[in-house]
Homo-oligomer: A and B are copies of this chain.
Amino acid sequence: MARKISDSTVRRLSRYLRRLRNLDRQEVKVVSSRELAESTGTTAAQVRKDLSHFGSFGKRGHGYAVPELRVRLEEILGLTRRWRVAVLGVGKIGSALLGYGFFAQRGFDVVAAFDSDRTKIGWELSGVRVQPLSELEPTFVDREISIAIIATPVEAAQEVATRAVRAGARAILNFAPIKLHLSPDVAVREMDVTLELEGLCYMVTAAGSAAEDIE
């Protein structure tokens, strides 16, 4: 499995898994690449190629066994263990994330939250106590936290990210609108609502002006 898997493939695998979990809950036993493609927005050939990078899980003429494929995907994505997560910054986004009950269901345990605002320190949100940022390093080490979610204002993002990585974080989910500069062996994903909205505006605008071209 030395093969290098592209980011877009990993995203699709995660979508397949999302669908498989639903099918499994509905006790559906078998699914074809065509059905899986239909419900995740891709093509049947793409589904089969994606899965084929990791082995042959299907039965010809039949399809894929739902529970088996689900487990295989969870293994591939590294979701057979639990992951300990910290939320850095307890503003609007940070608190919404702390209250998001599905994390635990999906194997993610939020075990720490930090903020620089003194008035917030000591608060307990969804069972997690808000700690001062000065306790970041010892807490990351003690609780073996490997994922940091950055939900601070943009000015603080780079600094807390650097500190989290030095304290042992191996992955960063960044909600701050800034490109973080970190060692290349740290996994980083960015989530920016404004950026997505701007992308939508381009699509709507471009579609409109393309229509004018036709007239």
Contact = CB atoms under 8 A, between A and B. Distances in A.
A99 B92 contact: yes
A45 interface: no
Interface size on A, as a range, is 35 or more
A133 interface: no
Interface stretch (A11-19, A59-67, A111-119, A159-167): A11-19
Interface string A91-120: 011011101101100101000000000000
A79 interface: yes
A202 interface: yes
A161 to B, nearest CB: 13
* Chain A interface, >50% SS class: helix
A204 B209 CA distance: 43
A193 interface: yes
Interface string A23-66: 00000000000000001110000000000000000000000000
A137 to B, nearest CB: 20
Contacts of A142: none
A185 B205 CA distance: 12
Interface string A172-208: 1100010100000101010101111111111111110
The residue in A40, A77, A97 that gathers the most chain B C-beta atoms within 10 A of its C-beta is A77
B10 A193 contact: no
A191 B193 contact: yes
B200 A196 contact: no
Interface of A: 1-2, 5, 7, 10-11, 13-15, 17-18, 39-41, 76-79, 83, 85, 92-93, 95-97, 99-100, 102-103, 106, 108, 146-147, 170-173, 177, 179, 185, 187, 189, 191, 193-207, 209-210, 213
5 contacts: A14-B198, A41-B179, A77-B201, A147-B201, A187-B200
